[in-house]
Amino acid sequence: MIDGIAETGRGLGFALVSGIAIAKNQYPPEKEAYHLARVDTGTLIENLDPLETKVKLVEVLQRYHSQDGVDLSKRANWQVLPWKEKRVINPLHLFGAAVCFADLNPLRIPDYIVPPRDLVSRYFDELLLSRDPLYLHEQFDKALSMVGPYPTAAATLLMLATRLIARDQETSLYGNNFPGNKILNTLQFMIAGYGEQWVRDEETEATGNTYYFWTNIAMKMLLIANGRDQFINDLPGNVLFPFGQKIMDASRRYIARQANPTTHELPFKYGLQIGRELAEAYLSKRPLLDGVTYIFPKSSSNEII
């Protein structure tokens, strides 16, 4: 009991400090040009629209669910990270890791949250070997093939790997010059771009949209899997993540005095919605395709319904 309270206290401290750090810190000057660089998304394959993406992600999970010995209706499969003795994820640690780049965080991200460097390197190799940029569901498929039937773990791997590609702000986790600027520049072109249903009147930065999407998928999957068992630990994610994009934009603009060129608003929201539906479909044993609530517009409208 006492150990649990102490762990929650440490986790709340990590989550709070992480949030303050990303709000207050300026990007290092030597990284600013890289941060503002944009891939010419006109040269990229565009992701499927959000509804089609959700259906494809469901199909990926169905393939794993149908394998011998795999039961995605077990909450534990959505709550652990297999690269660290299947340790159960503290949502406060995932929250803190998600809201702040490792290089800007004055506290060290707990080791068990961080995918091993060789695992990230293997994912990069998969991107580099691809003939075309990978769609979101293809990225998910690759990640699951590496980590096993653990959807939140797969999304966490994708969150940190694509964040590294987009911002190169994880050197405290993976060391300097990993995987190197030349490879990073190549990797940017191996992640699919975004069409009109994914963005609203702003530049379509492929890698930034991608890591926002996976960040929100990972967080929402874990919160759904936890149910009401970890009310205090889940509180920051449940209360703050639905407003995360607005909080981030305001804090960067008015506290750090360094406005975000791109808000990633819709990939952020779609990540939360898709993460919720994927987890609920299995954990509530709902029909996976027939009867799934369509939360996305079927037209070209950008409005979320």
Based on C-alpha coordinates, what's the Rg of the chain?
A: 18
Cα-based torsion angle of the residue sequence 75, 236, 158, 279 in order, rounded to the nearest 10 degrees: 30
Question: What confidence score (pLDDT) does residue 46 get?
Answer: 93
Nearest to 203, CA basis, from 267, 272, 270: 267
pTM for the whole structure? 0.90
Note the pLDDT tens digit of each residue in 175-202. Answer: 999 999 889 989 999 999 999 899 877 7
Question: What confidence score (pLDDT) does residue 264 get?
Answer: 87
Question: What confidence score (pLDDT) does residue 257 get?
Answer: 72
Residue positions counted in the chain: 305
Residue ranges in the chain modelled with pLDDT below 70 = 1-3, 27-42, 256, 258-259, 261, 285-305
Question: What confidence score (pLDDT) does residue 299 get?
Answer: 35
One-letter amino acid identity for 212?
A: Y
Question: What confidence score (pLDDT) does residue 74 get?
Answer: 92
Question: What confidence score (pLDDT) does residue 301 get?
Answer: 38
Burial class (CB in 10 A: 0-12, 13-18, 19+), 300: exposed
Question: What confidence score (pLDDT) does residue 136 get?
Answer: 98
Beta bridge partners of 80: 88
Question: What confidence score (pLDDT) does residue 196 get?
Answer: 87
Note the pLDDT tens digit of each residue in 34-64. Answer: 555 556 666 789 999 999 999 999 999 999 8
- Residue spans of the domains in the chain: they are 2-283
CB of 216 closer than 8 Å to CB of 275:
yes
Query: Crossing angle for the helix pair 136-147 and 206-226, nearest 10 degrees?
Result: 50
State the distance between the two ends of the chain, measured CA to CA, in whole angstroms.
Answer: 42
